[in-house]
Structure 1
Amino acid sequence: MANEIVIAQTTIDDEDRANALARGAVENRLAACAHVDPPLTAVYRWNGAVESAREWRISYRTTTDRLPELASWVAREHTYDVPEWITLPVAGGSAAYLSWVVEETGTP
């Protein structure tokens, strides 16, 4: 398979925005699917203080070919000054599922 599959993740403090970030990426074929996890508590240091916030994590399934465009799109659409953006390589999985990810992120 030419494209490698990756999971890219971000978080946001608003459920409606999380759903919009998930749906928009799929609608634009930047990701084959996106999972919005239930709210979690994030604890982090920001501007010299320890903060906590309720956040939703969005996990995108995409390809390495589409990843740069997905990253740019999320950065434009996100409301945080410094949004979380991490990527995790997918080392294996069902051939049918991985092929589906490639197909759904390709040009129609």
Structure 2
Amino acid sequence: MSGEIIVLVTSANGDEASKIAEALVRERLAACVNIISDVESVYRWEGKVARDREMLLVIKTTADRYSELEQRIHKLHSYSTPEVVAIPIQQGSANYLTWLRESVER
């Protein structure tokens, strides 16, 4: 697979979000991670509707790095079933996308 993607991950708190973000960037699994605080999530869990305040990580990477990135998130995350979803980047600034690819090269 190739191409740039955005991966969305929610986390329980700022400390966990920062830990995940820093590890992913340090390990070149992500070029950049934005952390958006105070996201309200409404979801079904164990047969009931739940509501929580969470942090949202917006992770920029490539499809080639996705598998490793997902595995790393599962190791770092406190949730048994963390949200990890990828969205392809259809278009973007050529300079930014070049920087993104170079930032996650092995």
**TM-score past 0.5 threshold:** yes
Pair 1:54-2:53 in alignment: yes
What's the counterpart of residue 39 of structure 1?
A: 38
Q: CA–CA distance in 2 between the matches of 1:13 and 1:101?
A: 27
Matches within 5 A, 1:72-87: 72-87=71-86
Unpaired stretches in structure 1, ≥5 consecutive residues: none
1:49-99 Cα offsets, whole Å, 9 max, x none, are: 111111000011001111110011001111101100110000011111000
Overall identity of the aligned pairs, in %: 35
Pair 1:11-2:13 in alignment: no
Q: Which 4+ stretches in 1 moved above 2 angstroms? A: none
User: How many matched pairs?
Assistant: 106
Q: CA RMSD in A?
A: 1.2
Letter in 1 for 2:30: A
Q: CA–CA distance in 1 between the matches of 2:4 and 2:71?
A: 18
TM-score normalised by length of structure 2: 0.95
Unpaired stretches in structure 2, ≥5 consecutive residues: none
Q: Would you say the 8 A contact 1:3–1:102 is kept in 2?
A: no
TM-score normalised by length of structure 1: 0.94
Specify which structure has the higher proportion of strand: 2
Q: Would you say the 8 A contact 1:62–1:101 is kept in 2?
A: yes
